[in-house]
Amino acid sequence: MTSALTRSFSVESSELRSAVISERQRQSLLKDSEKMSDPEPCRIKQEEAEGLIDLSEDVKVHPNVQTKMFLCPFCGKSYNRQDKFRKHQSTHTGEKPYKCSHCYKPFSQPEYLRKHERIHTGEKPYKCSHCDKRFSLLKTMKTHERIHTGEKPFTCTECGTSFSQLSHLNQHMRIHTGEKPHECDQCGKTFSRLPDLKKHLRVHTNEKPYSCSECGKSFMWQTSLKLHQKIHTGVREFDCLECGKTFITVGDLKRHQRIHTGEKPYVCSHCNQTFRHSGNLKSHEMIHAGEFHAVIIP
């Protein structure tokens, strides 16, 4: 009886040692897979791996021993599924086999192509749960919904200001860093935001994209158009508390209020004479320059 138990234990011990040795062999193969000349050097075939380790009920292998089967030769990342491994490989090879049938733009993954084609088809499968607005991308919809929820998950580490979008935070951070990466090729002036540079370029091109529907007058800035349109509508929403006079813009009101306060913020650099309006100062300084003589009321 004792002899039989001893033989049985010896057999089980031998099988276990065999399993351990086989596992070491497999680990060695995994490490050497990058050096293989096979067209798929990262792959250890499933049937070969199964032959290395006996996973029968008599031999128990710890779950941590189970090793992923596909190793990337470029970065060493491993995968247990071939489709995920193939998807990862395209990030290194630059392969883009999926082309848009409308504009022929190539993509590395079919899901990227499907998202892109919505630009052409106009498909917007994602609907905001708060309003009727629809979106072609789930990510864009989630960003939009923060308008309704007020969620601002991106916070500035310098001043604590929060933003609903990461891009807005990145733009804001340039206030603290002083970074102005966008430079005008006409005058060299720099800007922290690309939209600000595009607006500035109108100074050089004299582009005036905003036109008044009433008189056809054009403006460089949308704000200038809105102010101009008040001339046609007759809206004067800014009232002087001293005399009741009304004005179209808050700037006009502030300039008018200097009559009551006596404020003269513009000072001549030649004679220290002061003026209520910048235009009057400029005209006065032309006298010192000898360009013309005029009588100006300060």
Is-above-0.75 flag for pTM?
no
Whether 200 and 188 have beta carbons less than 8 Å apart is answered as no
pLDDT band at 285 (very low <50, low <70, confident <90, very high): confident
The domain over range 210-261 is classified in CATH as 3.90.1150.10 = no
Residue 149 has pLDDT above 50, yes or no: yes
Alpha carbons 275 and 160: distance in angstroms, whole number: 41
What architecture is domain 134-203? 2-Layer Sandwich (3.30)
- pLDDT computed for residue 234 by the predictor: 87
Residue 181 has pLDDT above 70, yes or no: yes
Give 156-168 pLDDT, tens digit per residue.
999 999 999 998 9
275 phi and psi, to 5 degrees?
Answer: -140, 155
CATH of domain 64-108: 3.30.160.60
Can you count the helices (H) and strands (E) in the chain?
A: 10, 16
Give 227-276 pLDDT, tens digit per residue.
899 889 988 989 999 999 999 888 899 999 999 999 999 999 989 999 99
Q: Where in the chain is the domain with CATH 3.30.160.60?
A: 64-108, 134-203, 210-261
Q: Give the number of other Cβ atoms within 10 Å of residue 89's Cβ.
A: 19
Q: Is 148 helix (H, G, I), strand (E, B) or coil?
A: helix
pLDDT band at 219 (very low <50, low <70, confident <90, very high): very high
The fraction of the chain above a pLDDT of 70, given in percent, is 74
Can you read off the two tokens belonging to residue 249?
């813009």
- pLDDT computed for residue 298 by the predictor: 52
pLDDT band at 95 (very low <50, low <70, confident <90, very high): confident
Give 118-139 pLDDT, tens digit per residue.
989 999 999 999 999 999 999 9
Alpha carbons 29 and 11: distance in angstroms, whole number: 27
**Across all residues in the chain, what is the average pLDDT?**
78
